Amino acid sequence: MNRVQLLLLMLLKAAWVRKDRSFTALLSITVVATMATVALSVYSDVGTKLNREFRRFGANVIVTARQGAFDVKELELIKTTVGSRGEVLPLAYAVAQGPSGAPVVVAGAELQPLRELNSWWSLIPPIGNIQRESPPPVVAYVGPRVAEVLSPQGQSFEIKFGEKSLRVYPAFVFHSGSEDDSRIYIDPEPFHALTGISPNVAQVRIEGSPAEIENQIRKLSAALPQAEVKPVLQITVAQAAILEKTRSVVLAASAVVVILIVLCMVATFTGSVLERRKDFAVMKALGASNGAVNLVFAGEAILISIVGAILGFIAGSAVAWWIGAANFGNGIPPRPELLFPVAFGSIILALIASSAPLKVLREIQPAGILRGE
């Protein structure tokens, strides 16, 4: 048996003979590694998770043609620039006349994407029975004020633009709490047939962090010099503020938890080394040098911390995944790159925690310890 094998055997035997003590030390290292993994995983993923939540806020960028309307090429360019990380909804507005001749704002937009973009709208089917009409009226989404004034029974009604007229049926009444509440939305084809107006505004929802949104705005501005590209500050400023504050709180809270748990672990580890003063004295009495004793204690600390770090990394990744799944409906994926810093940190902490009491023990004579002093 060579020296390394002997050392390993001693370490394993020591761990096995004092199972309780080894288990306590292993448990404290595992707890530290678990919390470190949870904190680092949550901190690094919270931004992505919250940015995804901000999708629900709807359009965060408005692109407006400086003059006239967008042509098909320009709209295509906006869609290509935004790519798969966003949505584009072209819109056109006109002031039409209701049945009494009073003005009403009509907007042309694809109704299904409009509904998805404005997911906070509360959509209510109108009160009243649907009357079968021939030809069938054009489907419209109307704001609650339009419903009150022009369609109190949920009936279809006529709107006029110049010489042309169109019968619309309010398929849904939406509540937005904005100027949209006085508007009628219809699909682009009937809108264009009625008014001849093409889209001059595009509502754009870009997914990502505030910096990524800023970057996309720059790209859109460069691609469309004839259009004005503006962030909806009400949304982007709130997103940046929430992200910053939340990341700071998670960081501060995680730092507090990890530091305190580390202190707790160091106390446990130090205690367990101090309790082994008799082992220390026997080793010294049998002629072991300070270096040899240090090697044995450090070897034990390293062995326990490696096992604890691996167990903690697995447990921490599972807890982080659960936190993501329970709160955001989407688990936080394990980050293998965290294993090395967690293991390295655990080994260093365990070595610090076990070396400090050894210094104290070295100052006491082995005979004194064995006598029980």
Partner 1 sequence: MFARLLFESFRRQVRRKAFAVLAITLGMTITTAMVSVATDIGDKLNQELRTGSANLLITPLADNLDVNIGGVDLKPANDGVFIHESDLIKIKKLFWKNNILGYAPFLSANQDFILSGRSLKAPLIGTYFAQPVPLETQNFVTGVRSVNGFWKVEGTWPSDNSTDALVGASLARRDGIHIGDELEINHSRLRISGILNTGAAEDEAIVAPLHFVQQAVNRPDAVSRVVVSALTKPEDAFARQNPAAMSPAVYERWSCSPYANSIADSISKVLPNVRVEQIRQIEQNQGNVLSRISGLMLLLTIASLLASALAVSAVMAATIMERRQEVGLMKSLGAGNAKVVSLFLTEAGILAIGGGVLGFVAGVILAHRIGQSVFGSSITVPPVVLAIVLFGALAITFLGSTGAIRKAMRFDPAVVLRGDA
Q: Looking at 125-133, 218-226, 269-277, 338-346, which segment touches partner 1 (CB under 8 A)?
A: 269-277
- Residue 213 C-beta: closest distance to partner 1, Å: 12
| CA end-to-end span of the chain | 36
Of residues 136-155, those binding partner 1 (CB under 8 A): 145-146, 149
Strands 138-142 and 164-175: parallel
- Residue 28 C-beta: closest distance to partner 1, Å: 6
Q: Looking at 23-31, 74-82, 153-161, 291-299, which segment touches partner 1 (CB under 8 A)?
A: 23-31
Of residues 180-199, those binding partner 1 (CB under 8 A): 181-182
DSSP letters of 196-210?
Answer: -PPP-EEEEEE-S-H
- Residue 37 C-beta: closest distance to partner 1, Å: 10
Whole-number Å distance between alpha carbons of 43 and 324: 11
| Contact partners, residue 224, CB within 8 Å, separation at least 6 | 63, 74, 77, 78
Residue 117 sits in the site that holds partner 1 (CB under 8 A): no
Among 10, 77, 257, 282, binds partner 1 (CB under 8 A): 257
Residue 238 sits in the site that holds partner 1 (CB under 8 A): yes
* Residue type, position 333, single letter: P
Among 11, 14, 40, 57, binds partner 1 (CB under 8 A): 57
Q: In the complex with partner 1, which residue's Cβ is closer, 121 or 169?
A: 121
Whole-number Å distance between alpha carbons of 159 and 167: 6
- Residue 31 C-beta: closest distance to partner 1, Å: 5
Among 6, 228, 330, 362, binds partner 1 (CB under 8 A): 228
Reduced to 3 states (helix: H, G, I; strand: E, B; else coil), residue 174 is strand
Of residues 270-329, those binding partner 1 (CB under 8 A): 270-272, 274-275, 319, 322-323, 326-328
Q: In the complex with partner 1, which residue's Cβ is closer, 71 or 275?
A: 275
- Residue 27 C-beta: closest distance to partner 1, Å: 5
Residue 256 sits in the site that holds partner 1 (CB under 8 A): yes
Q: In the complex with partner 1, which residue's Cβ is closer, 235 or 352?
A: 235
Task: For residue 331, give the H/E element and its range.
Answer: none
Among 103, 136, 196, 368, binds partner 1 (CB under 8 A): 103
- Residue 254 C-beta: closest distance to partner 1, Å: 7
Q: Looking at 18-26, 108-116, 186-194, 205-213, which segment touches partner 1 (CB under 8 A)?
A: 18-26
Whole-number Å distance between alpha carbons of 213 and 85: 10
CA dihedral of residues 170, 173, 174, 180 (deg, nearest 10): 60
Residue 288 burial by CB count (10 A; 0-12/13-18/19+): exposed, middle or buried?
Answer: middle
Residue 233 sits in the site that holds partner 1 (CB under 8 A): yes
Of residues 27-56, those binding partner 1 (CB under 8 A): 27-28, 31, 34-35, 38-39, 42, 46, 49-50, 53-54, 56
- State how far the alpha carbon of 95 is from the alpha carbons of 92, 103, 104, 299, in Å: 11, 6, 6, 81
Reduced to 3 states (helix: H, G, I; strand: E, B; else coil), residue 91 is strand
Question: Position of tokens 């995804």?
Answer: 52
Among 242, 282, 306, 307, binds partner 1 (CB under 8 A): 242
Dihedral sign, Cα of residue 208, residue 209, residue 210, residue 213: negative
Site string for partner 1, 327-346 (x = CB under 8 A): xx------------------
Running DSSP on this structure, what letter comes out for residue 63?
E
Q: Looking at 82-90, 99-107, 205-213, 281-289, which segment touches partner 1 (CB under 8 A)?
A: 99-107
Residue 160 sits in the site that holds partner 1 (CB under 8 A): no
Helices (H), the chain: 3-17, 19-53, 72-82, 111-117, 144-150, 188-195, 210-223, 233-274, 277-285, 290-328, 339-362, 366-370
